[in-house]
Amino acid sequence: MTARALVAMAFALVGCGRDARRDLVPADVLAPPRADARATLAPSATVELACGLPAQPWRFPAVERVVAVGDVHGDLAATEKILRAAGVVDDAGRWRGGTTWVVQGGDLLDRGDDEQAIVDWFERLEAEAAAAGGRFLWLLGNHELMNAAGDLRYVTPGGFRDFEDVPGLPLERFAEVPEGARARVAALAPGGPYARILAGQNLAVVVGDTAFVHGGVRPGKAAGLPGDLARARCWLAGQGDPPAALTDDDGVLWDRSFAGPEPNCAELSVALGELGVARMVIAHTPQPAGVSSACDGKVWRVDVGLARHYGGPSQALELTAAGPRIIAGP
């Protein structure tokens, strides 16, 4: 992606009805070095091979227990509290969930001071859960995209101090970025060490008969998900351009079609049919009363605003053969 294209993307993220632009990093320092400068990328498998990333599965068979957690926005204590309530971590933050699968819906970044600690912890939980026969999956949210694109409007003062201890950051490449933001930008810009961690995550996953996604999957979008995933991963790794799914208002990171009190249930049914699932679990849009559902349980909304920035309830969603159940933290 060229520098001009990257700054255009940052403007797009804050336009079209979103908040006015404030603190965007100078675009000419954000364009990542690329081995592949093509604007149009090939289908999924070719793209992943071209940028050197391993294949990323996003459809999984049914499992006995899945716990879905919404946006955590840089609040480590709130995240620990709900995962303990779900019985998947102990008091030391180590995995104790056995074969349980956890799907966290994205938006680790912004609005809180503990972002780096959460990313590091989630990486560890991925390994610990897999070793125990479970899985810990965390999705990309729009705030991960925004930070990679240089949109720093929602970073807290403590968040700007995050990432300063990351070894080997190419700080000289970001000399035009204000010093207080330089380490963060170097870590999260496409090709940076934490952007490459994000490149290991999915835009959406399907576990059994349930799709999990940050914003939502509208009708007509399901077929493009594998290619969107491949392009997003390559872009975060420093190669290629981001897919429209990352920036469009109706893309999987931004869509709110099924998050309101009266979603279009007919459209939801079409989207579920295209995905081949019975229900969709979404995050992104805070639910002031806690975890909620609509359309006879075909959509569940798990962004409860649990981070201290919002002050929402400590809740998650459990899916088992007995049906959905809301987990409440202390």
Concerning whether 143 is annotated as a catalytic residue, the answer is yes
CA distance 115 to 92: 18
Q: How many CB atoms lie within 10 A of CB 205?
A: 24
Quickly count: other Cβ atoms within 10 Å of residue 92's Cβ.
Answer: 7
Q: Which residue has the tokens 């912890």?
A: 121
Those residues whose C-beta lies under 8 Å from the C-beta of residue 49, and which sit 6 or more positions away, are none
Distance (Å) of CA 244 to CA 69, 143, 231:
26, 16, 10
| 3-state DSSP assignment of residue 35 | coil
Cα separation, 154 vs 145, whole angstroms: 12
The secondary structure of 189-201 as a DSSP string is STTSHHHHHHTTS
Are 35 and 275 contacting, i.e. CB atoms less than 8 angstroms apart?
A: no
What are the b/e assignments for 209-230, b being 16+ CB within 10 Å? Answer: ebbbbbbbbbbebbebbbbbbb
Percent helix, strand, coil in the chain, to 5, is 35, 15, 50
Q: Choosing from 73, 143, 214, 284, which is the catalytic residue?
A: 143
**Among 233, 204, 227, CA closest to 216:** 204
Residues catalogued as catalytic: 143
